[in-house]
Amino acid sequence: MKSFTTLTALVAPLDRANVDTDAIIPKQFLKSIKRSGFGPNAFDEWRYLDHGEPGMDNSKRPLNPDFVLNQPRYQGAHILLTRKNFGCGSSREHAPWALDDYGFRAIIAPSFADIFFNNCYKNGLLPIVLSEETVDLLFHDVTAHEGYRLNINLPEQTVNTPDGKHYHFEITEHRKHCLLNGLDEIGLTLQHADAIKAYENKHKQQQPWLYQS
């Protein structure tokens, strides 16, 4: 998993509440269990004017010019600013996979759906909860200033604006440790690889009959 320490990046504003996981990555793309390759189909039904299916050449599909992520000023954004209850709906882990593969490293919203919120941490995405008032101010600044960038400092737990404002966000120590060190559940387990191997060897010596073919 990719680590996260600090990020200074362009912000894309998705001014919609209750964005569900089927909007983030539609159900027809869930056939693959690989974590990569979903970025071109993130927000597929909003992003393109035709119906998307796996295996299509997305470079030849007609783009929706009204969708915010298709606007030239937001190309290359790594921070997504959105509204409350982001990631509601089904619990598909493909949703954070798609956002990560698109290029987002952090998502700022007043609230998130619980399962999506947890899945973000497991995949190296940082979901940041700020107040609705603060999110409103950020939406105003993002739309008013082309090329608007924010700095996110995970060690300090702050979102920092170009004009010097600092917004604190909460995160548990465990989640913070995992993001800073790029550790998912497998990575955490592998930190104890020597102890696991020692246990396996001891178990084989004590009960060798279990390992006979």
Contact 16/46 with Cβ under 8 angstroms? Answer: no
Q: What is the 3-state secondary structure (H, E, C) of the chain?
A: CCCCCEEEEEEEEECCCCCEHHHHCCHHHCCCCCCCCCHHHCCHHHHECCCCCCCCCHHHCCECCCCHHHCHHHCCCCEEEECCCECECCCCCHHHHHHHHHCCCEEEECCECHHHHHHHHHCCCEEEECCHHHHHHHHHHHHHCCCCEEEEECCCCEEECCCCCEEECCCCHHHHHHHHHCCCHHHHHHCCHHHHHHHHHHHHHHCHHHHCC
From CA 67, how far away is CA 54, in angstroms rounded? Answer: 21
Structure tokens at 34: 């690989």
Residue 1 belongs to some domain of the structure: no
Amino acid at 74: Y
Q: Which domain holds residue 203?
A: 185-213
Domain match, 136 and 32 both: yes
CATH number of the CATH domain containing 172: 3.20.19.10
Amino acid at 198: A
Residue 199: per-residue pLDDT:
74
Question: Considering the entire predicted model, what is its pTM?
Answer: 0.89
Domain match, 25 and 82 both: yes
Domain match, 48 and 77 both: yes
The set of residues, in sequence order, having a beta carbon less than 8 Å from that of 183 and lying 6+ positions away, is 1, 177, 191
Residue 123 belongs to some domain of the structure: yes
* Closest-CA residue to 43 (of 12, 60, 20, 62): 20
**Per-residue pLDDT of the chain in tens (213 residues, 90 and over written 9):** 889 999 999 999 999 999 999 999 999 999 888 888 999 999 999 999 999 999 999 999 999 999 999 999 999 999 999 999 999 999 899 999 999 999 999 999 999 999 999 999 999 999 999 999 999 999 999 999 999 999 999 999 999 999 999 999 999 999 999 999 998 776 666 666 676 777 776 777 788 887 877
Amino acid at 136: D
Domain count, the chain: 2
Residue 94: per-residue pLDDT:
96
Domain match, 213 and 140 both: no
Residue 192: per-residue pLDDT:
61
Residue 210: per-residue pLDDT:
78
Contact 86/107 with Cβ under 8 angstroms? Answer: yes
Residue 207: per-residue pLDDT:
81
Q: Which residues pair with 9 in a beta bridge?
A: 150
